């Protein structure tokens, strides 16, 4: 039987990887379709709101990474034990999205002078500000993002951190032992470890 899900994204980890981590963790079969930046302009018009990743399933085209991720997480019982914990997962993930948007806003800035300005703020203010708080959150939550439990927040955030570190060529965990702890823990999960070993090698 053909896999139920087809993920379509660039040949990058990027925003595809949080979903690939969820598929891997859950042992959910999917087709991992990857396209190049050169192919993108011709494909963009076929995406629901001109963006990727999308997931095709049952003849429908889904979009919005975290909406799709939350759905998969619910199927995998990874949204915590109740609505409150599900919210705590969402809070952590949305905060990491704020952080990520600052980083990609710098990375893809085309104007050199603006990029230099953004770099200054990013490295001196934004990154230490967020990492310190994330580290404290993980400490307070007994080594996870939500209440000492493995949730999709852990999987998604570790996938994103790993990717952002490689995008910026920096190490987020050097000074933050709790972040190092949760990254090591997620990357040591057998299903994630297996996926990371076999996945296509990309810059980020």
Of residues 70 and 149, the one with the C-beta less far from a second copy? 70
- Residue 57 phi, psi dihedral angles, 5° rounding: -155, 135
> Applying CB under 8 A, which of residues 1, 49, 59, 197 lies at the interface with a second copy?
49
**115 touches a second copy by CB under 8 A:** no
Of residues 133 and 175, the one with the C-beta less far from a second copy? 133
Is the bond leading into 38 cis (omega within 30 degrees of zero)?
Answer: no
**6 touches a second copy by CB under 8 A:** no
**168 touches a second copy by CB under 8 A:** no
Question: Of 3-11, 42-50, 185-193, 195-203, which segment contacts a second copy by CB under 8 A?
Answer: 42-50
Strand partners, 115: none
**113 touches a second copy by CB under 8 A:** no
Strand partners, 5: 30, 57
Window 138 to 167, contacts with a second copy (CB under 8 A): none
**95 touches a second copy by CB under 8 A:** yes
Q: What is the dihedral of CA 197, 201, 41, 64, to 10 degrees?
A: 30
**90 touches a second copy by CB under 8 A:** yes
**68 touches a second copy by CB under 8 A:** yes
Residue ranges in the chain assigned as alpha helix (H): 17-26, 40-44, 65-75, 83-107, 112-121, 127-140, 152-168, 177-187, 190-198
Of residues 58 and 197, the one with the C-beta less far from a second copy? 58
**4 touches a second copy by CB under 8 A:** no
Query: In this structure, what token pair is assigned to residue 151?
Result: 């949730």
Tell the smallest beta-carbon distance from residue 72 to a second copy (Å). 9
Query: In this structure, what token pair is assigned to residue 159?
Result: 């996938």
What is the three-class DSSP state of 56? strand
Burial grade of 2 (CB within 10 A; 0-12, 13-18, 19 or more): exposed
**86 touches a second copy by CB under 8 A:** yes
Would you tell me which residues interact with a second copy (CB under 8 A)?
48-51, 62-64, 66-68, 70-71, 74-75, 83-84, 86-87, 90-91, 93-95, 98, 101, 129-130, 133
């Amino acid at each position: 039987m053909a896999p139920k899900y087809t993920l379509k994204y660039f040949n990058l980890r990027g925003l595809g990887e949080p979903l690939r981590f969820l598929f891997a963790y859950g042992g959910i079969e999917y087709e991992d379709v990857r396209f190049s930046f050169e192919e993108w302009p011709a494909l963009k018009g076929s995406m629901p709101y001109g963006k990727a990743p999308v997931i095709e399933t049952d003849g429908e085209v889904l979009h919005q990474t975290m909406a799709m991720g939350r759905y998969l997480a619910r199927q995998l019982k990874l949204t915590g034990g109740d609505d409150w914990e599900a919210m705590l997962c969402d809070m952590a993930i949305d905060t990491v999205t704020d952080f990520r948007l600052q980083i990609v806003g710098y990375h893809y800035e085309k104007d050199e002078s603006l990029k230099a300005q953004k770099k200054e703020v990013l490295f001196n203010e934004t990154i230490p500000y967020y990492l310190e708080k994330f580290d404290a959150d993980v400490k307070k939550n007994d080594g996870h993002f939500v209440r000492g439990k493995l949730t999709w927040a852990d999987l998604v955030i570790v996938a994103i951190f790993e990717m952002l570190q490689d995008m910026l060529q920096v190490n987020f965990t050097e000074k933050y032992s709790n972040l190092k702890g949760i990254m090591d823990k997620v990357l040591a999960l057998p299903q994630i470890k297996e996926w990371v070993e076999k996945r296509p090698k990309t810059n980020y």
